[in-house]
Structure 1
Amino acid sequence: MGQATSAQQVPRISVEDITAFCDFFYKKTGISMDASRRYFIDRRLEERMLANECKTFREYLSLVKFQAGGAEMQALINEMTVNETYFFREDYQFTCLTRRMLDEIADNKDPRRDRIRIWSIPCSTGEEPYTIAISILENWKRASEFDIEILASDIDTRVIAKAQQGIYQARALHRVPTNIRETYFQQIDRDNWQVIKDLRESIDFSIVNVTNPAHMARLRNIDVIFCRNLLIYFDDISRRRAAEHFFDALNPGGFVCLGHSESMSRISNIFLPRKFPEALVHQRPMK
């Protein structure tokens, strides 16, 4: 049958290679990986090595480090990050947003000149920022008084593209009430729904690495940050760095919402815990 093609020849990755990769990936992204995820890492590295026809791991790592433009580094990040979400996930925080946080923020703003800015990071395929927008439109009575800007960011270029397209299968919509689905989505075939154009165009999507100071310097004057289930992938140093970046990005009195398994008190003491009836959130002090 002839010789096997290069696409069938999987390059060998040693324990030393995995250690070198985990160290490199951590320095680039802040995401901590170790040998306990060996199978996951191996599979994705092998796919990228074969796609680039690299015969050894060292050849591939050299490509990622020194390639002009960084296209392969971005492709690697896309493969290594896990994106699993749905609409109205952990919805108690959206209830807290529209019942408590936004009123407190609005009371310190002039609607004639001040904008309310909300940031979703990582936004994955867009379910969270669209949920934020829908929650505000449906449940915050003062929404028409203010110019509200929703920013949405992720490190993965593929999920940003999907988020901008705004097409979802029924699984992602299983918690969306029928009246909300009929108002903010259009059914495009039997299995897929698309967020309406006005809502899609109201979200500002961008690529951001929260551990990159240059990326984070662009984010300022934010009032609420939703950063849920990201910091669990970081080590203590990267978590503290991310918390400090969030502090700098927020206006005084601004809020951070973390995932249910994350605790800011174990990361940094620069935020004040605020226990609302619906949720525990974290606030940048006013002074």
Structure 2
Amino acid sequence: MSLASTSAVGGRLTDAQFARVREWVYRRTGIQFGDNKRYFVDKRVTNCVRDNGGDFNLWFASLRTGANERVAQQLVNELTVNETYFLREDHQFDSLVRSVLPGIAQRRRATGDGSPIRILSVPCSTGEEPYSIAIRLLSDWPGIEEFDVEIVAADIDTRVLEQAQRGEYGARSMHRVPPAVRSEFFERTEGERYRVRGDVREAIDFTLANLTDTAQMRSFRAFDVVFCRNVLIYFDEISSRRAAENLFGALRPGGFLFLGHSESMSRISPIFDPVRLPEGIAYQRPAIGATA
């Protein structure tokens, strides 16, 4: 039986269909859609069903059984919210270059640790955040001349990862970028579009990651800094705690975590220590041997 013949007028899902999809999405991504997001979910799910033959039952069976990963990834891509721009919440990048990285560099020198400084941006969306990190390091952190830095950018949405790798942006993403920074780190393309300079694009490793998938997140280890901003607000308590534990595992002891301005780790898990920096709050994985 096709979706059109079992749904309400206008291509909406039935209540039972909505419940099934919502549960699948929660189990897959940790994101929980309330009834107030019904129109958002209905529209995108009906598009996916239409693109895959128009039969909801057959389409959902492929999701539930895992028979077709392409179908599953398409739905994840459709339901992922990607709202970002360059130099967003820039005070945290100030913290990175003025407080966090100098401290990490000092410890590396003291211990003779010659390993690269590693930074993770997750979810990275269309790439504005990891590119902002790279630009601020190249512009404002003298230590970039002394230390190798690896930046890894990850997201659950394959579509935005492809956009991020292209590194091309319009006026909305660029509205906070000063003219001097545009001139130094971007190339003008068509119209009001800009592309990140080639060497900066090549310096970032983009990869797929699901924050709530503990098995998958085990491949993310030994990061000195993690930016995970404005995603935990979409998780319930269980998913948030699981994500926090996975982020903890991704950090080296003593590593730092930055969350979005409306997020607080103290409401999620006690495993991180809050750190008040001159520019704002960050969260730290306790160093080995640290005591409460």
TM over 0.5: yes
| Change in 2 beyond 3 A, CA 1:63/1:54 | farther
After TM superposition, give the deviation of residue 143 of structure 1 in Å: 1.1
Structure 1 residue 67: Cα displacement = 4.8
Alignment map for 1:36-115 (pairs within 5 Å): 36-55=36-55, 57-110=56-109, 113-115=114-116
Which secondary structure state, in structure 2, belongs to the residue aligned with residue 82 of structure 1? Answer: coil
Contact 1:232 1:262 (8 Å CA) reproduced: yes
Gaps of 5+ in 2: none
- Specify the alignment match of 1:13 in structure 2: 13
> What SS does the aligned partner of 1:253 have?
strand
* SS of the residue 2:142 aligns to: coil
Match of 1:207 in 2: 208
- Higher mean Cα deviation, 144-153 or 17-26? 17-26
**Counterpart amino acid of residue 100 in structure 1:** S
Q: Secondary structure at the match of 1:114?
A: coil
Matches within 5 A, 1:20-35: 20-35=20-35
Contact 1:19–1:34 (8 Å) recurs in 2: no
**Residue type matched to 2:77 in 1?**
N
Q: Which runs of 4 or more aligned residues in structure 1 lie more than 4 Å from their structure 2 counterparts after TM superposition?
A: 9-12
What is the TM-score normalised by the length of structure 2? 0.92
- 1:7-47 CA distance string (max 9 Å, x none): xx975521121112111110111111122211001001110
Deviation at 1:113, TM superposition (A): 2.1
Q: Check whether the contact 1:255–1:282 (CA below 8 A) recurs between aligned residues.
A: yes
Worse overlay, 111-120 or 208-217:
111-120
CA distance in 2: counterparts of 1:147 and 1:276, whole angstroms: 24
SS of match in other structure, 1:142: helix
Structure 1 contact 185–193 (Cα < 8 Å) conserved: yes
Superposed, which structure 2 residues align to 1:42-191 within 5 Å?
42-55=42-55, 57-110=56-109, 113-191=114-192
**Secondary structure, aligned partner of 1:186:** strand
AA paired with 1:170?
A: A
Letter in 1 for 2:134: A
The code of the aligned residue for 2:148 comes to D
CA–CA distance in structure 2, aligned partners of residues 86 and 166 of structure 1: 12
Alpha-carbon distance in 1 for matches of 2:146, 2:50: 54
Instruction: Flag the 1:14–1:271 CA change in 2: closer, same or farther, 3 A.
Output: same
Question: How far apart in 2 are the matches of 1:219 and 1:39?
Answer: 35
Aligned-pair distance for 1:171?
A: 1.8
- Alpha-carbon distance in 2 for matches of 1:62, 1:189: 43
- The 10-residue stretch of structure 1 (105-114 or 32-41) with the greater mean CA deviation from structure 2: 105-114
Q: In 1, Cα distance between the equivalents of 2:172 and 2:12?
A: 38
8 Å Cα contact 1:10/1:46 also seen in 2:
no
Partner of 2:259: 258
Give the match's secondary structure for 1:83.
coil
Structure 1: which 5+ residue stretches go unaligned? Answer: none
Q: Which amino acid is the alignment partner of residue 113 of structure 1? A: G
Over aligned residues, Cα RMSD in angstroms? 1.7
Change (3 A) 1:240 1:191: same
Give the direction of change, closer, same or farther, for the CA distance of 1:69–1:106 in structure 2 (3 Å limit): farther
Amino acid at match of 2:281: L
Q: Please tell me whether the aligned partners of residues 62 and 68 of structure 2 are also in contact (alpha carbons under 8 angstroms).
A: no
